[in-house]
């Protein structure tokens, strides 16, 4: 089962993952002080991670859900030996972002886009993840089929 670790300041009303909360293939956790989540054996998305490879197929995902500014606090909750992977640089968000302090990287994705992309790169394509995502068509147009 894949894990979503959400920062407590992440606004549920704007969160693109909220429609997926009742799915049985995802487990949601909210970070809290002192949380120690063993990420060993999980793929964790990281800007400085390695590229996905065919050897990653079928692995489980641990997705960190927060703003870029708050991401380091979530990363501190992880222990063990996660496998850090980065998404392809050609992927662009379809979500109309508005960063007040320009802290979002140019290739940053909405959380649901990142979840979809990572699972697809892990060999588990599931278009139903984007069923409630308003910008799904624009996002999917980037993918070569």
Predicted pLDDT of residue 107: 62
pLDDT tens-digit profile of 24-80?
Answer: 999 999 999 899 999 999 999 998 899 999 999 999 999 999 888 889 999 999 999
Which span out of 8-12, 69-73, 137-141 was modeled with the highest average pLDDT? 137-141
Predicted pLDDT of residue 99: 55
End-to-end CA, the chain: 26
- pTM, to two decimals: 0.90
As a whole number of angstroms, the distance between CA 11 and CA 109 comes to: 16
Q: Average pLDDT, whole number, for the chain?
A: 90
- C-alpha count within 13 angstroms, C-beta hemisphere, residue 126: 16
As a whole number of angstroms, the distance between CA 30 and CA 38 comes to: 15
Domain boundaries, the chain: 2-140
Predicted confidence (pLDDT) at residue 104 exceeds the cutoff of 70: no
């Amino acid at each position: 089962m894949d894990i979503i670790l959400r920062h407590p300041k992440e606004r549920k009303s704007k969160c693109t993952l909220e429609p997926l909360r009742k799915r049985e293939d995802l487990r949601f956790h909210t970070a809290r002080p002192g949380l120690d989540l063993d990420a060993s054996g999980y793929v964790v998305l990281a800007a400085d991670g390695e590229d996905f490879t065919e050897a990653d197929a079928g692995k489980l995902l641990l997705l960190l859900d927060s703003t870029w500014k708050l991401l380091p606090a979530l990363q501190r909750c992880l222990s063990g030996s996660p496998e850090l992977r980065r998404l392809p640089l050609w992927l662009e968000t379809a979500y109309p972002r508005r960063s007040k302090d320009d802290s979002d990287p140019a290739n940053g994705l909405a959380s649901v886009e990142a979840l979809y992309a990572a699972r697809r790169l892990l060999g588990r394509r599931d278009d139903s993840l984007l069923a409630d995502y308003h910008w799904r068509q624009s996002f999917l147009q980037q993918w070569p089929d």
